[in-house]
């Protein structure tokens, strides 16, 4: 057994550069949701982000479809998510099917499936067209900036969290690495929205290791999408043959490996999916970046030669942030199970929801540490449950609920874990969000289970 060689860091004094009521670590969908929600309710909020922009997977990760927001005809993720979509639409950065097109039929399938607006949970050749939104990643950054600025959040970009400051089981702030050295950011409440549970782990929270495929997504420009679709529907057998070969070359892709975006001629390729990589390991991530690039170039060479519509296309860009779906998962006061998600189990303390499932407040609370709350893809769920409940809208909604909880704790001068979930529900409703407190007809409630 080889032992890892170590060196000892010297103790040092670190400047305190910011003190606020709430410190949010990680500026993805969940982090912006938490920061904006708490700041609008009057809390002073500092938001830390390692990259030069906000959005996380939804911008740098170039994940470009908002889904998991609808339970039949009911739109279940509202609030800040609805506001984002409105703002994206105002700057021509969002496209989604109008209500009349949300149905199951060949004509709407042809119109909307290449936008990623089909219900992929239904195992049919022609899936229902549903409310899902294709958006532009730079638009997402812009809207996030606007919302953060308007809410008066103290945003600190280029700040890489590295250590939690914990005293007597209570988190007091965090330390991050920056170009000018280490900095301390102090706060009464810390929200971990890093997606990988970075803060909670350093604070000593219980967790389970997770893992899933990783993806180096990319966009192709100058694609004649009309021509490509005419070929797909006009010569289905010839299309299928070329498409199968393309997917074999990329080695891991959903059936719809290219999707339209709000920018004409630019398509989003949510592939290659790669297995066996740990989304936390420097060695693995480095290797995955290389492998992903090799595979996407292989695919692109092939489609340029063979797929009508792609002849003049070029590689526009690749996700600056590798697509990591799952790493460490919190073991919180309640751990959401796969059965909870698939049976649509309703909880009394539900504070937000996704497609047709409900998220209890307890799933945002670490067991041992006070004044720390989490939101986003690392929430307290077993890894299988997370795979079905981690899309952008529910992560944003969790953040919004965490921000509300932080405000209520500060307002009543109580610990965040002692906030009454019903008070969170009421405030979520006041700000136009759906906290999931009114179970839908298809929910599994205690009465239904008996």
Ligand X SMILES: Cc1cc2nc3c(=O)[nH]c(=O)nc-3n(C[C@H](O)[C@H](O)[C@H](O)COP(=O)(O)OP(=O)(O)OC[C@H]3O[C@@H](n4cnc5c(N)ncnc54)[C@H](O)[C@@H]3O)c2cc1C
Instruction: Report the interface residues with ligand X, using CB under 6 A.
Output: 25-31, 48-51, 56-58, 61, 63, 65-68, 160-161, 193-196, 198, 215, 217, 270, 323-325, 376-377, 390-392, 395
Termini Cα distance of the chain? 54
Q: Which helix (H) or strand (E) holds 130?
A: none
Q: How many CB atoms lie within 10 A of CB 238?
A: 12
Q: Which is nearer to ligand X, 64 or 408 (CB)?
A: 64
Angle at 35 between CA 30 and CA 36, to 5 degrees: 100
Residue 366 C-beta: closest distance to ligand X, Å: 16
Tokens 């809207």 map to which residue?
Answer: 143
Give whichever of 242 and 351 is closer to ligand X, judged by the CB atom: 351
**Would you state the structure tokens that stand for residue 265, as one six-digit string?**
């001629």
Q: What is the CA radius of gyration of the chain?
A: 22
As measured in angstroms, the least distance from the Cβ of 355 to ligand X is 10
- The span from the CA of 127 to the CA of 109, in Å, is 7
Shortest Cβ 151–ligand X spacing (Å): 17
Residue 251 · residue 94 · CB < 8 Å: no
Compare residues 41 and 364 and give the one whose CB is closer to ligand X: 364
| Minimum distance of ligand X from residue 337's CB (angstroms) | 19
CA distance 51 to 320: 10
- For tokens 């692109």, name the residue: 300
| Residue in 254, 265, 263, 253 with CA at minimum distance from that of residue 229 | 265
Residue 7 β-bridge partners? none
Considering beta carbons, is residue 50 or 345 the nearer one to ligand X? 50
Closest separation between CB of residue 439 and ligand X, Å? 23
What backbone torsions phi and psi does residue 22 show, to the nearest 5 degrees?
-125, 135
Q: How far is the CB of 196 from ligand X (least distance, A)?
A: 6
Identity of the residue, 31 or 439, whose beta carbon is nearer to ligand X in the bound complex? 31
Contact 314, 182 (CB under 8 A): no
Q: Residue 199 or residue 303: which is nearer to ligand X going by CB?
A: 199
- Which residue number places its CB atom closest to ligand X? 28
Q: How far is the CB of 345 from ligand X (least distance, A)?
A: 21
- Closer of 69 and 424 to ligand X (Cβ): 69
């Amino acid at each position: 057994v080889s032992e890892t060689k170590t060196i000892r860091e010297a103790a040092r004094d670190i400047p305190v550069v910011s003190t606020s009521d709430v410190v949010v670590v990680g500026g993805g969908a969940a982090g912006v949701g938490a920061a904006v929600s708490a700041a609008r309710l009057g809390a002073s909020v500092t938001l830390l982000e390692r990259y030069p922009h906000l959005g996380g997977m939804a911008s740098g990760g170039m994940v470009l479809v908002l889904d998991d927001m609808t339970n039949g005809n009911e739109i279940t993720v509202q609030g800040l998510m609805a506001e984002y979509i409105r703002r994206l639409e105002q700057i021509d950065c969002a496209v989604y099917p109008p209500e009349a097109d949300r149905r199951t039929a060949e004509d709407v399938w042809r119109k909307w499936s290449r936008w990623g607006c089909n219900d992929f949970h239904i195992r049919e050749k022609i899936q229902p067209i549903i409310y899902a939104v294709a958006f532009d990643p730079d638009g997402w950054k812009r809207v996030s900036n606007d919302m953060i600025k308007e809410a008066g959040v103290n945003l600190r970009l280029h700040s890489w969290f590295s250590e939690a400051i914990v005293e007597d089981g209570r988190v007091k702030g965090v330390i991050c690495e920056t170009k000018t050295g280490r900095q301390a950011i102090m706060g009464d409440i810390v929200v971990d929205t890093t997606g990988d549970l970075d803060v909670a782990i350093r604070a000593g929270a219980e967790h389970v290791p997770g893992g899933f495929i990783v993806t180096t997504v990319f966009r192709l420009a100058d694609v004649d999408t009309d021509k490509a679709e005419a070929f797909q529907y006009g010569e289905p057998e010839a299309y299928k043959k070329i498409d199968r070969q393309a997917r074999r070359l990329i080695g891991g892709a959903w059936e719809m490996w290219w999707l339209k975006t709000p920018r004409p001629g630019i398509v989003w390729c949510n592939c290659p999916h790669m297995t066996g990589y740990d989304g936390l390991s420097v060695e693995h991530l480095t290797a995955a970046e290389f492998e992903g690039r090799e595979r996407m170039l292989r695919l692109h060479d092939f489609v340029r030669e063979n797929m009508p519509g792609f002849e003049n296309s070029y590689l526009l860009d690749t996700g600056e942030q590798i697509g990591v779906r799952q790493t460490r998962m919190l073991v919180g006061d309640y751990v959401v199970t796969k059965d909870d998600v698939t049976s649509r189990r309703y909880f009394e303390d539900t504070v937000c929801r996704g497609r047709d499932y409900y998220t209890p407040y307890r799933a945002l609370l670490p067991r041992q540490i006070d004044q720390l709350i989490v939101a986003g893809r690392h929430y307290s769920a077993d890894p299988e449950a997370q795979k079905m409940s981690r899309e952008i809208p529910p992560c944003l909604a969790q953040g919004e609920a965490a921000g509300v909880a932080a405000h209520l704790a500060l307002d009543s001068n109580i610990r965040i874990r002692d906030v009454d979930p019903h008070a969170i529900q009421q405030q979520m409703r006041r700000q136009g969000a759906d906290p999931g407190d009114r179970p839908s007809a298809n929910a599994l409630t205690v009465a239904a289970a008996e």
